Structure 1
Amino acid sequence: MSDFDPAVSTPAEALAVLQEGNARFVRGERLHPNQDADRRSAVAPRQQPFAVLFGCSDSRLAAEIIFDRGLGDLFVVRTAGHVAGPEVLGSIEYGVSVLGAPLVVVLGHDACGAVTAASEADRDGSAPAGYIGDLVERVMPSVLSARAAGHTDIDSFVHTHIRRTVDGLVGRSVLLATEVAAGRCAVVGLSYQLAGGTVSVVNSHGPVPAASR
């Protein structure tokens, strides 16, 4: 799949590389791969990331750090609450169709501020002013869905939001749905624990091992 990292060619391999990197991060044994001058020169002419990372904008969710990766490894798209508009969908499709990444990751986290704000707006009956209110409204369906399922805590709302985001990407993007159906790509939802640094799989579409689901 990639001249720079030929060991990563399938969605399952890409997910395994991310999980292994996260395990090193949690243990405090990061290798800091692909972060030297040679790598900088190698990727200057072109990029071939092995994963698209669509995550929350939270400052504690720096993808290359928590997955122990480097330059050219991840095509990163971030918005508060990983809210996906046309710009996000276009960026993800670019990472998959043009850059050839076999994996799309939706990365959420516990105690998410956007999900918390949506929960409070639902409880109080009023949304924040300005474009923050627009963002909260776009997270609100996940909160309502979680409440309807009997959940009451923020982290359950977060998992529901991650799951709905993953499902929504595949449902809204014909390109992603086609790539997933053909087995060339997987879309996986991960939840990050801010204190512990670990990630866990919430849901997935596409060819990743059942043990990873």
Structure 2
Amino acid sequence: MIGCIDSRVPPELVFDQGLGDLIGVRSAGQALDEAVLGSVQFALEELHVRLIVVLGHERCGAAAAAIEHVRTGHPVEGHIERVVEELAPAARATRHLPGDWVENTVRANVDRVTRRLARDAAFADARIVGARFDLDTGMVAFHPA
């Protein structure tokens, strides 16, 4: 599972699993970098994982930070810039959609990460799905394939 670092979204609790039942890689806003991709590839090759879930969540702070950057154009300081750069395409793509911009960005980013993984030969043997966790209801909704 590729999920967010948000403490409200612990994968084992979200999916009602025990410790050791899931392999999770967490980065703010599911931002991909070489360490995240390498960790997922390790899970596939060495641990024989065959399902990758990209899990976004309601009220994501990383998505909000990307939106603020897109909206204002202000530079982002330090290492957070890398996270914002990863989410900015989803924020730009959803800027003029009706509804909540953060929510739209979260969904678009999950779809973007899912598509990126699906195009990568390192993950060709895995099933890759996107999902969104609702903080209010505790429910997970899987994105259509």
> Shared topology, TM-score over 0.5?
yes
Q: State the Cα distance separating 1:151 from its structure 2 match.
A: 4.5
Q: Are 1:108 and 1:192, in contact at CA under 8 Å, matched by a contact in 2?
A: yes
Partner of 1:140: 88
1:152, distance to aligned residue in structure 2 (A): 5.3
1:157 aligns with 2:119: no
Determine what percentage of the aligned residue pairs are the same residue: 36
- 2:2 aligned with 1:57: no
Instruction: Tell which has more relative contact order, 1 or 2 (C-alpha 8 A, sep 6+).
Output: 2
**In the alignment, structure 1 residue 129 sits paired with structure 2 residue 77:** yes
Divergent runs of 4+, >3 A: none
Aligned pair 1:168/2:116, yes or no?
A: yes
Cα contact 1:151–1:157 (8 A) shared by 2: no
**Matching residue within 27, 45, 59 for 1:79:** 27
SS in 1 for 2:12: helix
RMSD between aligned residues: 1.4
Q: How much does 1:102 deviate?
A: 1.6
Q: Which of 198, 204, 207 matches 2:139? A: 198
Q: Which residue of 1 aligns with 2:47?
A: 99
Structure whose alpha-carbon radius of gyration is higher: 1
* Deviation readout 1:5-64 (Å, 9 max, x if unpaired): xxxxxxxxxxxxxxxxxxxxxxxxxxxxxxxxxxxxxxxxxxxxxxxx110000111111
The aligned counterpart of 1:45 is none
Q: How far is the alpha carbon of 1:127 from its aligned partner?
A: 3.0
Runs (5+) with no aligned partner, structure 2: none
**How many residues in Structure 1 have an aligned counterpart in Structure 2?**
144
Measure the CA separation in 1 of the matches of 2:53 and 2:84. 22
CA displacement at 1:195 relative to structure 2: 1.3
Give the SS at the match of 1:61: coil
Cα distance in 2 for partners of 1:126, 1:152 equals: 24
Residue type of the alignment partner of 1:86: E
Q: Secondary structure at the match of 2:117?
A: helix
CA distance in 2, matches of 1:85, 1:110: 22
> What runs of 5+ residues in structure 1 fail to find an aligned partner?
1-52, 180-184, 205-213
* Matched residue type, 2:127: A
1:117 aligns with 2:65: yes
Letter in 2 for 1:167: R
